[in-house]
Copies of this chain bind each other. A is one copy, B any other.
């Protein structure tokens, strides 16, 4: 909101680091820090101070020379940038292994992601109660998503059906999708799709352990 002509494009890495800063700031706030330097912030997430300052500088100048950044204020600013304090209506599709875990995942609520609807196609699951939410029939997907003003959909269905599901999700006008299925989904250009590929990090470990020589480590 601050700068009106922001034509600079922010890199993905910067955004991901904002998430990290946000997390650290939450902790610092609890530890009653008033201010924090880029040096300290960097140390806590194993980054460099210059990186921290550069990242933040894309969005404004939040610090005070000689002092550092005001913890609570900066946290608020980053929440604003990331859109975390507006609250998001989320729907989850698929109540299998991963789906069930996500329903109970506290971290999501904490960040303003509220799971409002859960879908499945299994008659035995439909109607059952998961943490206070009744599982809906996938056949009502499109209308339910619209009626409940859902903004983000989390897909946790088998890879074989994920594309069909996502096609329907897109039809319902959803613009943000988080996919846990291990498959590359096609969506229109105006839909944001992010993939959570849990095997990938294990495979990275596998590679690192198999090639100890030429690898640094750390995510």
- A105-120 contacts to B, CB under 8 A, are 105, 107-108, 111-113
Say how far A200's CB is from chain B's closest CB, in angstroms: 5
Size category of the binding interface on chain A: 35 or more
Contact check, A45 vs B184: say whether CB atoms are below 8 A apart.
Answer: yes
Contact check, B210 vs A82: say whether CB atoms are below 8 A apart.
Answer: yes
9-residue interface stretch from A48-56, A96-104, A142-150, A164-172: A96-104
Contact check, B218 vs A192: say whether CB atoms are below 8 A apart.
Answer: yes
Instruction: Say how many copies of this protein the assembly contains.
Output: 2
Say how far A151's CB is from chain B's closest CB, in angstroms: 7
- Given A199-B111, A217-B189: A204 and B16 within 8 A (CB)? yes
- Given A16-B204, A82-B207, A194-B201: A213 and B6 within 8 A (CB)? yes
Query: Which of B18, B19, B101 contacts A197 (CB under 8 A)?
Result: B19
Chain B residue numbers with a CB within 8 Å of A196 are 196, 198, 201
Contact check, B218 vs A205: say whether CB atoms are below 8 A apart.
Answer: no
- Given A7-B214, A104-B97: A83 and B199 within 8 A (CB)? no
Say how far A209's CB is from chain B's closest CB, in angstroms: 5
Query: CA A183 – CA B178 in complex, angstroms?
Result: 21
Q: A125 near B: Cβ within 8 Å?
A: no
Chain B residue numbers with a CB within 8 Å of A105 are 97-98, 198
Query: CA A45 – CA B111 in complex, angstroms?
Result: 30
Q: A202 near B: Cβ within 8 Å?
A: yes
Contact check, B217 vs A191: say whether CB atoms are below 8 A apart.
Answer: yes
Contact check, B19 vs A200: say whether CB atoms are below 8 A apart.
Answer: yes
- Given A15-B207, A84-B206, A203-B19: A214 and B6 within 8 A (CB)? yes
Say how far A111's CB is from chain B's closest CB, in angstroms: 6
Q: A176 near B: Cβ within 8 Å?
A: yes
